[in-house]
């Protein structure tokens, strides 16, 4: 995620769908007031009033946002069990921001100005709508509930990231557990690591149930039916429209997923020396805690990055990602990024913990950009580093005089996730790696194996993101999923969408969905990532074919300024652009999995051949 600290910021347009035209990002000056004040009738100059209001509002918004970001940063990078200083400071800063964003006075004024929408510039309207959207996460009319939500959120973060994981009797990090799941061949050890990774779940149950009620109640005060609907409205969509969209995406990739699922069952049974091939994949067989990325199952001869990266070291990866962006024409990262980011795991023996999940922060909606990661030298972090820098360069690019503070967000949240993931994909392709001298350009490598590896990442992710996560959160927030069904529903969905089952019965004494960080601290938004993959393949298709004239499966973006210009033109307007129009303008297409399905098409024949005679169970 990129951090929108009060659960917001993002590119909000309440009635975005009605707003077809892309907002021109330049006209911040309102038409002048009448030049003859003496004869001017008493009345309103709405554009000028809006401009004045927005100028003052934005200034205060930015000040409070920055204070909140600083406090959150501290709370996420220095977690000391039992210490209440940080959480108290964070709660205070968030409450101050919430009080301003949700103040009745501001809301009334926003509504009043929006009643005169037709007289305002599109850019003014977007800013007002964004401010109103933000208000819904902390309306003054529900001040007590807002306060409780803020406190509960801070506590949940502390519980989740302050948790001490134990494996084989020793304290371990999530990086350690992930390594076991990627590399270990002994099923008993895998099972132990998988179970260790789920042990945090029950500690989060009470907090999560509490948060469901509070999140729903807060947005209901401004008329949203539930928190899931609120988050979907950020795209100008209803909850039902969003669910229809993610279900459609899942359907489009289902035939390919079915082949991958069959393939994986047989291959993993072989790998773990099991005679019986199970109908559904036991969760602890998969090289990821949630089965959302299986790419480390396959090593492509001549393209295995892990040993190369291990030699280069963690720091090199971040520097290399920066070099890639710079090669396209992006600036060097500002000094503050290097000075204030928290990029690497804490040293052994540290007396505090930090958030173990990667994120990127726009601290002041200006030039203070930072990333929070625990980078280790391996392919997974190499990709994540490119992902996070995508957020950072998005921040830096829409921080410009044409984009007002309130619209410094992605065209939508999925765009924000897409840019860096796109760069991560590009940074793994053979011509790119060969160009950097990381692999031997002349060595024969198997294209199909490479495509398979990519599918095990990007395709496998879809049923998890658009299926399990989105369906579960939709049920949790909007359908009030019963609290004695939380884990049962999770595993029902995992079976239905991913074809994955738990290694042993997982009753309601567990809470496996809560082990996924987003369920706690990035709620009801996980479809962002599914949509981001779909968008990234659309962008990649365009870049490969129209700009580079290269096969999308074998590209080298490095050093190409045209590619840079293209990406910058998407980032530049931030949330002042209409996301649907932008996609049409940039790719000639509406949002669709067409490009993603095309990309992997050659793999279908191969997998069908491999799976001949095998039993399909999905």
> Which positions lie near ligand X8Z, rule CB under 6 A?
1-2, 358-360, 384, 387-388, 529
Smaller CB separation from ligand X8Z, 430 or 518: 518
Measured from the CB atom, the residue of 124 and 466 that comes closer to Zn ion is 466
Backbone angles phi, psi at 318, to 5 degrees: -65, -45
Q: Could you tell me the CA-to-CA distances from 274 to 270, 271, 278 in Å, in that order?
A: 6, 8, 9
Q: Which does 68 bind (CB under 5 to 8 A by kind): ligand X8Z, Zn ion, none?
A: none
Binding mask 416-445 for Zn ion (x = CB under 5 A): -x----------------------------
Please report how close the Cβ of residue 245 comes to ligand X8Z at its closest, in angstroms.
18
Q: Which of 278-286, 363-371, 411-419, 456-464 is the region at the interface with Zn ion (rule: CB under 5 A)?
A: 411-419
E strand map for 299-458: 359-362, 369-372
How far apart CA 194 and CA 117 sit, in angstroms, is: 54
**Contacted by 246, from ligand X8Z, Zn ion, none: CB < 5 to 8 Å by type:** none
369-372 and 359-362 strand pairing: antiparallel
Please give the residue whose beta carbon sits closest to Zn ion in the complex.
417
Quick one: what does residue 529 bind among Zn ion, ligand X8Z, none, with the CB cut-off 5 to 8 Å set by partner type? Answer: ligand X8Z
From the number of C-beta atoms within 10 Å of its C-beta (0-12, 13-18, 19+), residue 148 rates as: middle
Which pair of tokens denotes residue 305?
């990055």
**Minimum separation from the CB atom of position 132 to ligand X8Z (A):** 26
Cβ proximity to ligand X8Z: between 360 and 500 the closer is: 360
Residue 417 marked in a binding site: yes
Of 226 and 417, which CB lies nearer to Zn ion in the complex structure? 417
Annotation says 388 is catalytic: yes
Does residue 357 have an active-site annotation?
no
For Zn ion, give the closer residue by CB, 263 or 398.
398
Q: Show the tokens assigned to 117.
A: 């929408």
Ramachandran angles phi, psi of 497, nearest 5°: -90, -45
Contact 10, 234 (CB under 8 A): yes
Distance linking the first and last C-alpha atoms of the chain: 31
Please, which residues bridge with residue 527 across strands? none
CB 71 within 8 A of CB 94: yes
In angstroms, the CA 388 to CA 520 distance is: 20
In the complex, minimum distance from the CB of residue 9 to Zn ion, in angstroms, rounded to a whole number? 14
> Which is closer to ligand X8Z, CB of 61 or CB of 163?
163
x/- letters, 305..344, toward Zn ion (CB under 5 A): ----------------------------------------
Min dist. Cβ of residue 421 to ligand X8Z (A)? 6
Give whichever of 372 and 478 is closer to ligand X8Z, judged by the CB atom: 372
Say whether 542 counts as a known binding-site residue. no
Select from Zn ion, ligand X8Z, none the partner in contact with residue 384, using the beta carbon and a kind-dependent cut-off of 5 to 8 Å: ligand X8Z
Q: Is 230 annotated as a binding residue?
A: no
> 547 to 576, contacts with Zn ion by CB under 5 A?
none
Q: State residue 500 phi and psi, 5-degree precision.
A: -115, 140
Cβ 373 to ligand X8Z shortest distance, Å? 8
- Tell me the three state secondary structure of residue 404: coil
CB of residue 531 to ligand X8Z, shortest distance in Å: 12
- Alpha-carbon distance of 337 to 67, in angstroms, equals 18
* Nearest CA among 386, 394, 403, 406 for reference residue 369: 394
Q: Catalytic residue among 388, 454, 471, 473, which?
A: 388
- Distance (Å) of CA 596 to CA 331, 410, 454, 580, 593: 30, 22, 11, 18, 5
User: Which residue's Cβ has the minimum distance to ligand X8Z?
Assistant: 358
Specify the DSSP element, H or E, that contains 598: helix 594-610
The one catalytic residue among 2, 261, 416, 518: 518
Residue partners of 207: CB distance under 8 A and separation at least 6: 152, 155, 156, 159, 520
Which SS3 state, helix, strand or coil, does residue 248 take?
helix
Residues flagged as binding site for chloride: 235
Contact residues toward Zn ion (CB under 5 A) are 417
Residues flagged as binding site for Zn(2+): 387, 391, 417
Residues flagged as binding site: 235, 387, 391, 417
Positions marked active-site:
388, 518
């Amino acid at each position: 995620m990129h951090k929108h600290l009060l659960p917001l910021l993002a590119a909000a347009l309440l009635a975005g769908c009605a707003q077809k035209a892309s907002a021109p990002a330049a006209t911040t000056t309102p038409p002048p007031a009448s030049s003859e004040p003496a004869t001017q009738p008493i009345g309103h100059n709405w554009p000028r009033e809006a401009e004045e209001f927005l100028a003052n509002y934005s200034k205060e918004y930015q000040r409070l946002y920055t204070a909140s970001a600083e406090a959150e940063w501290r709370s996420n990078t220095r977690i000391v069990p039992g210490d209440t200083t940080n959480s108290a400071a964070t709660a205070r800063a968030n409450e101050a921001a919430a009080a301003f964003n949700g103040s009745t006075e501001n809301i009334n004024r926003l509504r009043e100005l929006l009643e005169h929408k037709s007289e305002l510039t599109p850019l003014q309207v977007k800013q007002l709508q964004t401010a109103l959207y933000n208000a819904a996460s902390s309306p003054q009319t529900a001040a007590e509930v807002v306060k409780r939500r803020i406190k509960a959120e801070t506590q949940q973060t502390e519980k989740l990231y302050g948790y001490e994981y134990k494996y084989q009797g020793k304290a371990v990090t999530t990086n350690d557990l992930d390594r076991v799941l990627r590399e270990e061949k002994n099923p008993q050890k895998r099972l132990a690591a998988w179970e260790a990774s789920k042990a945090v779940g029950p500690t989060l149950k009470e907090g999560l149930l509490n948060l469901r009620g509070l999140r729903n109640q807060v947005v209901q005060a401004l008329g949203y039916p539930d928190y899931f609907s609120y988050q979907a409205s950020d795209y100008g969509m209803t909850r039902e429209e969003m669910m229809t969209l993610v279900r459609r995406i899942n359907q489009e990739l289902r035939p390919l997923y079915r082949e991958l699922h069959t393939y994986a069952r047989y291959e993993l049974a072989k790998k773990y020396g099991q005679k019986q091939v199970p109908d559904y994949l036991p969760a602890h067989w998969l090289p990821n805690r949630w089965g959302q990325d299986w790419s480390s199952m396959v090593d492509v001869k001549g393209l295995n990055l892990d040993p190369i990266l291990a030699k280069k070291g963690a720091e090199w990866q971040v520097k290399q990602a920066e070099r890639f962006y710079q090669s396209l024409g992006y600036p060097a990262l500002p000094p503050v990024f290097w000075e204030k980011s928290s990029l690497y795991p804490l040293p052994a023996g540290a007396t505090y913990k930090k958030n173990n999940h990667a994120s990127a922060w726009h601290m002041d909606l200006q030039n203070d950009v930072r990333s929070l990661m625990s980078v280790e030298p391996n392919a997974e972090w190499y990709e994540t580093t490119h992902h996070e820098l995508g957020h950072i360069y998005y921040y830096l690019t829409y921080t410009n005089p044409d984009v007002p503070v309130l619209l410094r967000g992605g065209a939508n949240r999925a765009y924000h996730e897409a840019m860096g993931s796109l760069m991560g994909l590009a940074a793994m392709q053979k011509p790119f790696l060969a160009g950097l001298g990381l692999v031997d350009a002349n060595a024969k490598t198997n294209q199909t194996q490479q495509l398979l590896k990519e599918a095990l990442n990007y395709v496998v992710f879809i049923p998890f993101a658009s299926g399990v996560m989105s369906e579960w959160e939709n049920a949790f927030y909007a359908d009030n999923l019963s609290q004695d069904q939380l884990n049962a529903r999770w595993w029902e969905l995992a079976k239905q969408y991913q074809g994955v089952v738990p290694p042993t019965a997982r009753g309601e004494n567990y809470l496996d969905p809560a082990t996924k960080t987003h369920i706690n601290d990035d709620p009801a938004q996980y479809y962002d990532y599914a949509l981001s993959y779909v968008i990234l393949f659309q962008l990649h298709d365009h870049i490969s074919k129209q700009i580079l004239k290269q096969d999308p499966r074998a590209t080298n973006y490095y050093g190409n300024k045209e590619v840079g210009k293209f990406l910058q033109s998407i980032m530049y307007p931030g949330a002042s652009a209409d996301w649907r129009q932008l996609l049409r303008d940039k790719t000639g297409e509406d949002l669709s999995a067409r490009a993603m399905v095309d990309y992997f098409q050659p793999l279908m024949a191969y997998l069908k051949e491999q799976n001949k005679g095998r039993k399909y169970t999905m």
